[in-house]
Every structure is written in structure tokens, then in C-alpha cells.
């Protein structure tokens, strides 16, 4: 069945986006939730992790749940490259007989759903949701358009990635015409940082190292506490490190309260970090990927940096054969 057919046939729908959510994850989640509620569906929008407060800018933020109780007749994951990214909100044993629609655009997607729509040609899951709304014949309003444009802008680093096309810019124009404020969205994503984040950046930059074209830095839990920064998202630090002229690959590692380590990876084209993330149990795009590792932090740093240096020395710049593939709709 097509994604739109599954959604039309379902009445109680659980939408889940990935742990440590980004703007595309939250934008796509909230937009699809609003569209389905407009179709008189009973919808729960959810994320296992607490959603950072900066996303309160988006309509529907307060509705995001960290727990979900059925019954459901359809489960939909958004922007999740594998089942681990769905998080603990998904009860695999209890809900294994419920149809599971996997909507994602990452090259590392493992096609873990009972139904999979993996659109590698899309720049963002929010762009996929926009096309899905059209297939459903659902009307779009300014709130939905704001969420979708936020996701697209976030995943293209402000419409600056090399997969931005004239066709995508046409969609951006359409969302603006519907009432999505591009300038304000740009400002919210790229120009708003609380002072405590700058203190966290300061402590992270104290650890910076550069070797063999790989630049990396880390933030311990203790340093986060000293900076009074409760979040593990450093708002673009991995992109910032890659602005260093001598660097081809970057990594930022942040120690969580539970001892696990969040890893953000970036690559300057034609280098590729997608398969590095995959080897570490994560996923993502060739130039932007990530994963979650068990601690301790120093061992995680050593593991990540070793793989990245191997990447630079071997010049592995093309998609490796072991990356999973699946058809667009299966």
C-alpha cells in the first residue's frame, strides 16, 4: 500500500520521530500531525527524548508526548534511519502486529518498517511530508507551512547544501506564499543562542584537536553542568568546526546524563561520513550523520577519531557497497 492509502485507512495513528530530534524531525512530525487531525484522525505525536525548548517556536510543540498508549491501528516513524532511532516509545513486542510505516530520506535507512517510503532524492523528511500532503489532498495553512519550511531550512543548513534544486526552491516559495516566514525561520534557527549555550561552546572548544584532516571536540557531563547547559545539542558545533580550512571531517561528542555519548559527524565534499556513522550503529547523510555510543567518553572519542582518520587516509569518498538500500515504496 502507498503511504497515503495507509494513512487514509487508519483512524488511531501514532507518529514517532527520532531520539535527539533536530528541526526536520520536529517540523515534519508536527506538520503531519496537524494535517491528519484536519482529516479527523485521532493522532498522537511523540518523541522518546525531551524536545528542546527552541522548537516551541513551532505550532503544536506542546502536544509532543514522550509516552504513548494504544490502541493504534497505524504507527508512523518520521526521519528515523533505523529502529533504534525510534527510541523506547515504540513497544516492539506489544505492537508488532500493527502496520508500521517508515518515512525517511537517509541513505543509511534499513527499511525496518512493514511499509517503507525512503526518498533518497528528498532534502528533508519535511519535504516528503509536503508531497504526502498533496497526495492526500490535504489543505495546508500557515502553521503547517511554518513547520515544513523550518524542517527544510534546518536540514539544508539554510538552503546551502548541494542538493538544493530549483524544484526545491519552488516548494520553499509555495510555503512562503502559504504564510511561512522564511526570514524569521532563518533567524530562529541560525541567529538565536542562549548565553548558556555559548558557555557550553567555550568548554567544548577548549578540547578541540586537529590531526590528519580530522577535527574533533567533546563536552563532558561535568562541563555541561558547569555551563548550566542541560541539553546535549550544541546547535551546529559540528558544522562550525568544519569551517576550519585544514579540516575535511569533524566530530563533536557530548556525554549524556546516562553516560551514553551523542556523536555528530560532518564532512566536506567529497568525503563521506554516512558509512562511518553506520559502522558505529548510527546513520545519516554523506556530509552529515550521527550516532549514539556507550561510554566512557574517552573511549568513544578514540573510536570515532580512529574511524574518521581511516576514512581520510583511504579516501573513501563514494557510497560503500554495504550501505543498505531499499525501493522508494515497498
Q: Residues 46-60: pLDDT tens digits?
A: 999 999 889 999 999
Whether residues 210 and 172 share a domain: the answer is: no
Domain-embedded: residue 76: yes
Whether residues 179 and 210 share a domain: the answer is: no
Query: Residues 265-304: pLDDT tens digits?
Result: 999 988 989 989 989 988 888 889 999 999 999 999 999 9
Whether residues 64 and 123 share a domain: the answer is: yes
Whether residues 35 and 69 share a domain: the answer is: yes
Domain-embedded: residue 321: no
Domain-embedded: residue 91: yes
CATH at 162: 3.90.1640.10
User: Where a domain ends, among 190, 224, 242?
Assistant: 190
Query: Residues 171-222: pLDDT tens digits?
Result: 999 999 999 999 999 999 999 999 999 999 999 999 999 999 999 999 999 9
Whether residues 122 and 220 share a domain: the answer is: no
Whether residues 133 and 265 share a domain: the answer is: no
Q: Based on the structure, what is the number of domains in the chain?
A: 2
Query: How much of the chain exceeds pLDDT 70, in percent?
Result: 95
Whether residues 186 and 227 share a domain: the answer is: no
Whether residues 49 and 149 share a domain: the answer is: yes
Whether residues 28 and 135 share a domain: the answer is: yes
β-bridge partners, 225: none
Domain-embedded: residue 319: no
In 3D space, the residue among 36, 33, 28 whose CA is nearest the CA of residue 7 turns out to be: 36
Domain-embedded: residue 172: yes
Extended strands (E) in the chain: 12-17, 42-47, 74-78, 100-104, 115-118, 209-211, 214-219, 249-255, 261-267, 283-284, 288-293
Range of the domain at 252: 195-314
Domain-embedded: residue 146: yes
User: Other C-beta atoms within 10 Å of 155: how many?
Assistant: 25
Whether residues 93 and 181 share a domain: the answer is: yes
d(CA 33, CA 41): 9
Domain-embedded: residue 302: yes
Query: Residues 311-328: pLDDT tens digits?
Result: 887 754 444 434 444 545
Query: Residues 139-166: pLDDT tens digits?
Result: 999 999 999 999 999 999 999 988 999 9
User: Other C-beta atoms within 10 Å of 12: how many?
Assistant: 14
β-bridge partners, 246: none
CATH at 286: 3.10.310.30
Whether residues 78 and 168 share a domain: the answer is: yes
User: Where a domain ends, among 190, 219, 242?
Assistant: 190
Domain-embedded: residue 330: no
pTM of the model: 0.89
d(CA 299, CA 307): 13
Whether residues 174 and 205 share a domain: the answer is: no
Amino acid at each position: 500500500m502507498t503511504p497515503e492509502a495507509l494513512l487514509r485507512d487508519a483512524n488511531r495513528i501514532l507518529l514517532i520521530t527520532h531520539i535527539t530530534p533536530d528541526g526536520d524531525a520536529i517540523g515534519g512530525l508536527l506538520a503531519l500531525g496537524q494535517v491528519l487531525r484536519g482529516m479527523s484522525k485521532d493522532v498522537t505525536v511523540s518523541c522518546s527524548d525531551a524536545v528542546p525548548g527552541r522548537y516551541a517556536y513551532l505550532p503544536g510543540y506542546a502536544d509532543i508526548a514522550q509516552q504513548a498508549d494504544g490502541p493504534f491501528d497505524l504507527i508512523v516513524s518520521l526521519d528515523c534511519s533505523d529502529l533504534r532511532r525510534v527510541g523506547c516509545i515504540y513497544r516492539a513486542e506489544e505492537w508488532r502486529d500493527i502496520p508500521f510505516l517508515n518515512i525517511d530520506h537517509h541513505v543509511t535507512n534499513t527499511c525496518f518498517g512493514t511499509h517503507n517510503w525512503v526518498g533518497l532524492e528528498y532534502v528533508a523528511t519535511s519535504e516528503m511530508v509536503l508531497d504526502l500532503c498533496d497526495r492526500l489532498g490535504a489543505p495546508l495553512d500557515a502553521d503547517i507551512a511554518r513547520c515544513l519550511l523550518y524542517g527544510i531550512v534546518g536540514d539544508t543548513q539554510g538552503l546551502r547544501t548541494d542538493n538544493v534544486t530549483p524544484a526545491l526552491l519552488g516548494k520553499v516559495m509555495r510555503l512562503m506564499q502559504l504564510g511561512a516566514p522564511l526570514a524569521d525561520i532563518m533567524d530562529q534557527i541560525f541567529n538565536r543562542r542562549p548565553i548558556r549555550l555559548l558557555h557550553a561552546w567555550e568548554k567544548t572548544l577548549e578540547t578541540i584537536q586537529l590531526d590528519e584532516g580530522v577535527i574533533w571536540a567533546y563536552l563532558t557531563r561535568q562541563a555541561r553542568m558547569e555551563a548550566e547547559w542541560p541539553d546535549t545539542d550544541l546547535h551546529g558545533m559540528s558544522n562550525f568546526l568544519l569551517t576550519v580550512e585544514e579540516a575535511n571531517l569533524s566530530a563533536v561528542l557530548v556525554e549524556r546524563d546516562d553516560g551514553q555519548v551523542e556523536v555528530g559527524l560532518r564532512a566536506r565534499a567529497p568525503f563521506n561520513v554516512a558509512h562511518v556513522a553506520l559502522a558505529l550503529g548510527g546513520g545519516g547523510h554523506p556530509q552529515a550523520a550521527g550516532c549514539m555510543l556507550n561510554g566512557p567518553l574517552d573511549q568513544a572519542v578514540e573510536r570515532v577519531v580512529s574511524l574518521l582518520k581511516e576514512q581520510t587516509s583511504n579516501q573513501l569518498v563514494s557510497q560503500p557497497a554495504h550501505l543498505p538500500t531499499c525501493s522508494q515504496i515497498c
